[in-house]
Amino acid sequence: MVDLSLSQRSRQILEAIVEDYIATAEPVGSSAVAKRHAMSLSSATVRNVMASLEELGFLTSPHTSAGRVPTEKGFRFYVDSLVTLRSISQQEKREILKRYRETGHNLTDLLRETSRTLSSLSNYTGIVVAPRFTSCRFRQIEFVRLGSHKILTILVSCNGDVQNRIIDTEQEFSPDELIGMANYLNSILEGLTIDQVRKKVLTEMQSEKNRYDQLMNRALTLSEQALPDVGQEVFIAGQSRIFDQPEFNDLGRMREIFQAFEEKGRLVELLGRCMQADGVQIFIGAETPLKEMAGMSLITSTYLTGNDTIGLLGVVGPTRMGYSSVIPIVDYTARVVSRLLATD
C-alpha cells in the first residue's frame, strides 16, 4: 500500500536516494543528494528528512557508512508511486523483432529466445515459463509399433506441440489395430484440453459400453499411459549476470541462487501465483516466491498463446534493479510474444 503521509519533500529525497543507490550500489549521503539533484535544500535539511525516512522504515544505515540505503519498503514505495517508466526505444523494438524473425515459429525456440532477449535487454536474468501442455487443446494421438510389446505414442496439441512417450504393453497389437484405436480416440477427444482428455478417458474407461468393446478399452488404456505428466518447461538465460552485481559476490549466496534456478519444478510451482493476475507483477525482496531470492526482485508478466493458454515471462535481478527500464521491457516483450503466438 502507498503511504500517502509522506510529504512532497520526503518523496523527492526518497526518490533521489533510491535512484542513486540503483546507479552506484553505494550508501547515499545527504550532501550527495543535495548536490547531485540540484535541490534548493541544505545538507542538514536533507539529513533530517533522511532520518525521518529511516524512522518510518524506508531507509536504513549500514554500520560502515554515514549514508543510507533503501529498504524493501522504500523500494516498494518507489515502484508504486515514484518511478517514472521510460519508453521502449525504437532500437530495442527492432532488436526484439529481429531476434524473433530469426527464431522461426517453433514454440520452444521462441520461448528460449525470449529468455535470452529479456536477459540481454535488461542485463539481468531472463526467465520464461512455457504454458502447461495439459492446458493446450488436443489435436490427435498416434500409435507406432516399435516391437511386439513396445509402442511409441505421439500426442499433438492444437498449437503444434508434440510429446512422445514409449509404452511397454503386455499385449501385442498389429499396425491396423493401432490405427483403429488412434482413430477412435481422435474422434472422442478432439478439441478438448489435455486436462479434459485425461478426465474423459477415465470416464470412458468406467463406461458400461466400453467394458464390452475390448479394442476400445485397450485404446483408452494406452491413451491413459500416453498422457503427459503435469509439468511446465522453464527457460532461464543470463544466470551469471546476477553475479555481476556487487551485493551477490559471496560464494554462499551464489550457491543458493544457482540452486533456486536449478530446482525448476519448484520454481514453476512457486511462480504459479504470478500467473493469477494480468499485466506486470513486481515482487521485491521477501515478496519473491523463493526464500533463496532474498535481496532480489522479480518482475513478471503473463502472455497468451493462440488458444488462450497462459505462460509467464520476466526478469530476476537485485532489489537495486533499474525498474524504470525493466518494467517496460517485460511488458512490451509479453505483448510481442502474445501477438506472435496468436498468429501461429
pLDDT digits (tens, 9 = 90+) for 239-267: 888 778 777 777 777 777 777 777 666 66
For residue 283, the enclosing domain spans 90-132+232-342
Determine the pLDDT at residue 273: 65
Strand residue runs (E) in 90-131? 125-129
Highest mean pLDDT range out of 39-48, 191-200, 216-225, 299-308? 39-48
Determine the pLDDT at residue 134: 56
Residues 159 and 128 placed together within one structural domain of the fold: no
Burial of 136 per CB tally in 10 Å (0-12, 13-18, 19+): buried
Residues 115 and 157 placed together within one structural domain of the fold: no
Look up the CATH number of the domain holding residue 63.
1.10.10.10
Beta strand pairing status for 59-60 and 296-304? unpaired
CB atoms within 10 A of CB 27: 19
Determine the pLDDT at residue 1: 47
Q: What percent of the chain has pLDDT over 90?
A: 26
Determine the pLDDT at residue 238: 87
Q: Which residues contact 171 (CB under 8 A, 6 or more apart)?
A: 149, 218
164 — pLDDT class (breaks 50, 70, 90): confident
Residues 75 and 95 placed together within one structural domain of the fold: no
Query: What grid cell was written down for 95?
Result: 532488436
Average pLDDT over residues 167-195: 82
Domain count along the chain: 3
Q: Which of 44-58, 72-86, 105-119 has the lowest mean pLDDT?
A: 105-119
Query: What grid cell was written down for 76?
Result: 516498494
Residue 159 confidence (pLDDT) above 70: no
Determine the pLDDT at residue 264: 66
pLDDT digits (tens, 9 = 90+) for 88-138: 989 888 888 888 887 766 778 888 899 999 999 999 999 998 876 555 677
- pTM given for the model: 0.72
Burial of 180 per CB tally in 10 Å (0-12, 13-18, 19+): middle
CB atoms within 10 A of CB 94: 10
Q: What percent of the chain has pLDDT over 70?
A: 81
Residues 172 and 320 placed together within one structural domain of the fold: no
Domain boundary among 226, 249, 270: 226
Residues 139 and 239 placed together within one structural domain of the fold: no
Residues 72 and 102 placed together within one structural domain of the fold: no
Higher per-residue pLDDT: 307 or 131: 131
Residue 272 confidence (pLDDT) above 70: no
Domain boundary among 170, 195, 226: 226
Q: Do 321 and 80 contact (CB within 8 A), yes or no?
A: no
- From its phi and psi, is residue 123 left (phi > 0), alpha (psi between -120 and 50) or beta? left
Look up the CATH number of the domain holding residue 150.
3.30.390.60
Average pLDDT over residues 49-62: 93
Residues 287 and 217 placed together within one structural domain of the fold: no
Query: In this structure, is residue 3 part of a structural domain?
Result: no
